[in-house]
Structure 1
Amino acid sequence: MIAQAPVPMRCAGRPTLGGLVIPWITLHAGGRYLFGALDKARRDLALAERLCQVCGQSFDERICLAVRPADVHAGYTAEPGMHPECLAYSVRACPMLSGEVTRYRVTSASSGLPGVAEADDGPRAGRPADAFDAWWITPRSYGVKTDREHPGQLLGIDLDVPVLRKRLIRPAAGPDPDSLLALARQALGLEDPAPSCLYQPDGASQPHNTVKESE
């Protein structure tokens, strides 16, 4: 973990774990908080009521979003927005946003638990971390997309809106240089495919103890 970030005043009353503020939308199950797992009810409430995912408070003049290229393609981000100061704290404290973590979890910390809105499951499991950008929007531009086939299901915050400012939070993580070299040698027929190659194609199982998993 990088140097501990100062806690925003908005989060002064939030519970902490290991010195880190526990975001308002974090799932609490089995008597403990599960970092990386989102409480679906709180996530939906934050989207609908315009609440910050970190401190749980209403927005002021600016709303910040953590956006991946895949979110832009989908047209929405599934995670609620943040106050500028809550985003700044998250960029320092969250291993995924800070770049400390290089891959998504292979197995969710909340696997099998009810009431979970996962951020890191499905096709992303075990894959290199995406790039994240910070978007600043106004409350006037804030809109929530719903599933056309299930109108009561909230998809996330609409990204087809005017953006005041964008900046890179972290770049995408890719295969390590040794893995890329091994793939190049295989493509050129210089060696037989080796099962110890760290990079795995989509859908393949990941080797143990070779990558860091998100919190």
Structure 2
Amino acid sequence: MTAQLPVPTRCAGLPTAGGLVVPWITLYTAGRYLFGALDKARRDRALAERRCQVCGQSFDERICLAVRPADVHVGYTAEPGMHPECLAYSVRACPMLSGETDRYRSSPVSSGLPGAAEASHGARAGRPADAFDAWWITPGSYCVKADSEHSGQLLGLDLNVPVLRKRSIRPAAGPDLDSLLALARQALGLEGVTARYPHQSDDAPQQRNTVNESD
């Protein structure tokens, strides 16, 4: 399905893997690209030089951010911005943004690899996926936040700025019912009791988002 996605013109010259465009900030190591792992040097360049994290090109008059509630809480998003059309592509191609993935990895694919950026992964490792919203801002609202405790370290893009528009990308994943029931059975001393509970079939359709590049 995702292999047939139309590629934005900006991304035409980028490498592909499995039929998908490899974002400009993706980590390359041991002869392969690791989707979901960020190259720290490129991530920092994208933030400092106002580059799109997907195509690597400079921004025009609109910049899009993929924002979680946790990002709003700390006041910044650790990932660089995107062109509207690059965000629209990512929303369909990225399993996390599309809603196909409902849980973060228990450990990052880049764990222990040199040059990898693993911003805030530990806090959400193995947890249900967060909700994501798309924020549209102008170049005038683009502001990089630096780490005051570590000189030269970039935190990400400041979210305490004027926002033109906000749209939902995907909802938060629901609780893991199987895990909750297992904990309840353990607390009640029913570990050896087999019980059946109605739950959503694995074949049930996943909710997908509809962020359009023309928005």
Could you state the TM-score of these two structures normalised by the residue count of structure 2? Answer: 0.83
Matched residue SS, 2:41: helix
Aligned residue for 1:203? none
1:5 is aligned with what amino acid? Answer: L
Contact 1:36 1:119 in 2 (8 A): no
For 1:192, the equivalent position in structure 2 comes to 190
Query: Is 1:10 paired with 2:19?
Result: no
Q: Comparing 68-77 with 113-122, which one deviates more in the overlay?
A: 113-122
Deviation at 1:193, TM superposition (A): 5.4
Counterpart amino acid of residue 139 in structure 1 = P
Amino acid at match of 2:155: L
Task: Check conservation: 2:3, 2:19, Cα contact below 8 A.
Answer: no
Aligned to 2:43: 43
Aligned twin of 1:26: 26
CA-to-aligned-CA distance 1:70-94 (integer Å, 9 cap, x gap): 0000100000000000000000000
Alignment of 1:114-193 (within 5 A): 114-119=114-119, 121-181=121-181, 189=188, 192=190
**SS, match of residue 35 in structure 2:** strand
Instruction: Tell me the amino acid that sits aligned with residue 75 of structure 2.
Output: G
3-state SS of the aligned residue for 2:155? strand
Aligned Cα RMSD in Å? 2.3
Structure 2: give runs of 5+ residues left out of the alignment: 195-215
Corresponding position: 1:102 with 2:102:
yes
Pairwise CA distance, 1:98: 0.3
2:211 is matched with none
Query: CA offset at residue 3 of structure 1?
Result: 6.7
Q: How many residues align?
A: 195
- Aligned-pair identity (%): 81
| Aligned ranges 1:82-93 → 2 under 5 Å | 82-93=82-93
- Decide whether the 8 Å contact of 1:105 with 1:120 is kept in 2: no
In 2 relative to 1, CA 119–90 (structure 1 residues): closer, same or farther, beyond 3 Å? farther
In structure 2, C-alpha distance between the alignment counterparts of 1:101 and 1:134, rounded to whole Å = 18
Tell me the secondary structure at the aligned position of residue 4 of structure 2: coil
* Alignment partners' CA distance in 2, 1:57 and 1:149: 30
* CA–CA separation in structure 1 for the residues paired with 2:137 and 2:55: 18
Contact 1:38 1:119 in 2 (8 A): no
Q: Is the 8 A contact 1:4 1:92 kept in 2?
A: no
Equivalent-residue separation in structure 1 for 2:102 and 2:154 (angstroms):
29
- Looking at structure 1, the residues matched to 3 and 19 of structure 2 have their Cα atoms a distance apart, in angstroms, of 11
Task: Give 5+ residue unaligned stretches, structure 1.
Answer: 197-215
CA distance in 1, matches of 2:191, 2:144: 47
Distance 1:15 1:3, change over 3 A: closer
The answer (yes or no) to whether the contact 1:62–1:84 under 8 Å persists in 2 is yes
Report if the CA contact (8 A) 2:25-2:42 is conserved: yes
C-alpha separation between the residues in 1 aligned to 2:137 and 2:60? 11
Q: Residues 35, 120 of structure 1: CA spacing in aligned structure 2 closer, same or farther, 3 A cutoff?
A: farther
